[in-house]
Amino acid sequence: MKTGKSTREAFGLALAKVGQEYADIVVLDGDVHNSTRTEHFAKKFPQRFFNVGIAESNLVGAAAGMASSGKRAWLASFAAFVMCNAYDQLRMSVAFPCLDVKVVGTHAGISIGEDGPSQMGIEDVGLACSLPNFTVVVPADEPSMEQAVQALARTKTPAYLRAGRPNVPIIYENGFTFKIGKANQVREGKDLTIVANGLMVAPALEAADQLASQGVQARVLDMHTVKPLDDAAVLAAARETGRIVVAEEHLLHGGLGSAVAMSAARQHPVPMRFVGVNDTFAESGTPEGLLAKYGLTAADILREAQELVGKRK
């Protein structure tokens, strides 16, 4: 797979594009616009961009005020900052009144690397999913991020959009279909299903290739929307493949794995395994080193899949 832009860069470029289409979009940032890449929007539409400084609670409050006045508000900061520091404001000022505020958390997961655990959003998806009325989307690559921004811009309800720091492989060709709440099957398979999102989709496909060389055909689903989850895709995977592995760059509790497990348990229980951050904070290090140390690689997905199908020696 060819490596493309980071999803944070793709987000910034896509936001500047939709700003051209929607004159009522306003963008707010917590003084990290050169990192979240909202700087692309700021340069193009300076009168509609607001830097509130390092004050995430105020960031959310200001966005909620603009949304309540009829604007389409987008706000951005690091995932750990906006979801952890401003959770109460998100709960009471955005989720409760169900305002049109799109919350973008960049530098999510442990792949932020050397910045260390204080800036790693590893619980952000779980926090976002706990907010009533919120849609939660975790794109895998540059094209899907662009499509996600366009799709969310057409909605009028709150949403959380997750973006990462490192460049990621290109999964999709231009012109593919992206629909909020509808998983994309990126590989066919009948022996088990690997469900992933974000930067874990590429390792999931790599693991599926290795499984194929061992005579195991793995279906791979890009579950880019964690909420609302594609229950139909989970049901089909459970019925047709009988086993599910979930891979995510997030704490095992409260993220994609929890959502898929609940869906499967309700509809058609099957044996499952989970790849994610296991109840710990990570260290500072290179993105590659951290992903390897904390078990977020194709080899880790492969191991769990092999255990499910009884292929591991």
Strand partners for 3: 169
Nearest of 124, 312, 100 to residue 226 by alpha carbon? 124
- 19 class by beta-carbon count within 10 Å (0-12 exposed, 13-18 middle, 19+ buried): buried
Specify the residue for token string 């963008």: 27
Task: Judge contact between 206 and 180, C-beta under 8 A.
Answer: no
Q: Is 56 one of the annotated active-site residues of the chain?
A: yes
Q: Strand, helix or coil at 121?
A: strand
- Give the CB-side neighbour count of residue 157, counting CA atoms within 13 A: 11
The residue with tokens 């899907």 is 144
Residue 182 CA to residue 301 CA, distance in Å, equals 23
Answer yes or no: are the C-beta atoms of 270 and 238 closer than 8 Å: yes
Which among 177, 96, 173 is positioned nearest to 142, based on CA atoms? Answer: 173
Q: How far apart are CA 213 and CA 217, in angstroms?
A: 9
CA gap 59, 81 in Å, rounded: 11
User: To 10 degrees, the CA torsion angle through 65, 35, 112, 14?
Assistant: 70
CA pair distance 149, 151, nearest whole angstrom = 5
**Apex 72 CA angle, 66 and 77, nearest 5:** 80
Determine contact, residues 275/296, Cβ cutoff 8 Å.
yes
Residues 278 and 252: beta-carbon distance below 8 Å: yes
Which one from 9, 39, 56, 249 is the annotated catalytic residue? 56
Q: Which residues are catalytic?
A: 56
